[in-house]
Copies of this chain bind each other. A is one copy, B any other.
């Protein structure tokens, strides 16, 4: 047991020091599933050890949510308690959220429309403003648990899942903190070089996919090395393997098909194809879970527009595991993905995305990458420059 506890403590320390990069004297929020309590406790200890002023752990419980959706009145679905707004408004703060759903299919037998509608929009709006203001250093990290392992492997092999998580988060390195610094520098370099090429659009071509999406002239490509407005660096996703930008939400056309299952609101969305016209998703088809997506796209008037394009190649440690994690934090780092909903303010060099940056209360990433997917950069003159072929990066790197 000593080895296991050491691993958890090391993991928590990496999340606090590199992920959220908690500042001396900061208030730290930990938003954790009840099933992730051992990680929440380790994060609390690591945060106090890093000098946190106060650590507040807020546990969420999917069973409580399920009871609300199943048995509660209609008004409960969208009710946002004042105290959660008060909490969300607190600044300055660091926030850690945990993933690794212990029961990813818990809500699958409920009315998909109610599941999609059950959302505290007022909280999303506060969080969105804080992202725009770049006022919070935050990070997401997963906790291996039996239910999640069952979903991933068909058996509750938590040790095997821990091994995969440790590999993906570089906990297996002799000095994980140094390994992260090197990893982020490599991704950041790739992003800078792609920004310099100033493509006008990307073109995705592959099974069920023929999709063109415009880029914003004032948006850069970046890695997940984020900076608060005052310059403090943090890494909001652990692991991260992507470089990404915010597309021009007014320019997208065609069809795009998902390549991996997507765990969303307690259901699994599989084999989804989106039809897009004038930037907007106008049709959703899926082998499973289409209703949850449709419900989400109706949650506000800009939910059906795009907010993120992310490129991941075959060097991804997550992709190398060959595992479908049924967890967006992992699966989106296995391969290329796209998000509908809110854009990422951080990519705009002047901090203002203008009309090209999508504003919404949702942000849902779905995976589109696979060996057959070809991605080209399109220049203003219409020239196509290969970026990805067979999951291999086609542009020069140092």
- A40 — which chain B residues lie within 8 A by C-beta? 61, 64
- Residues of B near A64 (CB, < 8 A) are 40-41, 44, 55, 57
A56 to B60 CA separation, bound complex (whole angstroms): 10
**Binding site secondary structure of chain A:** helix
Instruction: Tell me the minimal C-beta distance from A217 to chain B in angstroms.
Output: 41
List chain B residues, Cβ under 8 A from A286: none
Complex partner residue of A61 from B49, B59, B75, CB under 8 angstroms = B59
Give the contacts of A42-86 with B (CB-CB under 8 A): 44-45, 48-49, 52-57, 59, 61, 63-64, 67-68, 70-73, 75-76, 79, 81-84, 86
The complex places the Cα of A59 from the Cα of B57 at a distance, in Å, of: 9
Total interface residues on A, CB under 8 Å, equals: 34
Asked if A83 and B72 sit within 8 Å, CB to CB, the answer is no
Docked pose: A64 CA to B59 CA in angstroms: 12
Contact of A67 with B55 in the complex, beta carbons under 8 Å: yes
The one of B45, B59, B83 that contacts A34, using a Cβ cutoff of 8 Å = B59
Neighbouring B residues of A82 by C-beta, 8 Å: 86-87, 90
Contact of A37 with B by CB under 8 A: yes
| Chain B residue nearest in CB terms to A87 | B83
Q: Report whether A79 and B55 are in contact in the complex, using a CB–CB cutoff of 8 Å.
A: no
Known: A86-B83, A90-B83. A37 touches B63 (CB 8 A): yes
User: Which of chain B's residues have a CB closer than 8 A to the CB of A90?
Assistant: 81-83
The minimal Cβ–Cβ distance linking A59 to chain B, given in whole angstroms, is 4
| Cβ A45 vs Cβ B71 within 8 A | yes
**CB-nearest residue of chain B to A84:** B83
Q: A45-B71, A55-B72, A82-B87 are in contact. List 15 more A-B contacts (CB 8 A).
A: A34-B59, A37-B61, A40-B64, A44-B64, A48-B76, A49-B71, A53-B73, A53-B75, A54-B72, A54-B79, A55-B68, A81-B87, A82-B90, A83-B83, A83-B84
Q: Give me 11 A-to-B residue pairs in the complex whose CB atoms sit less than 8 angstroms apart, sorted by A's number.
A: A41-B61, A41-B63, A44-B64, A44-B67, A48-B76, A53-B73, A54-B72, A56-B81, A57-B61, A57-B64, A86-B86
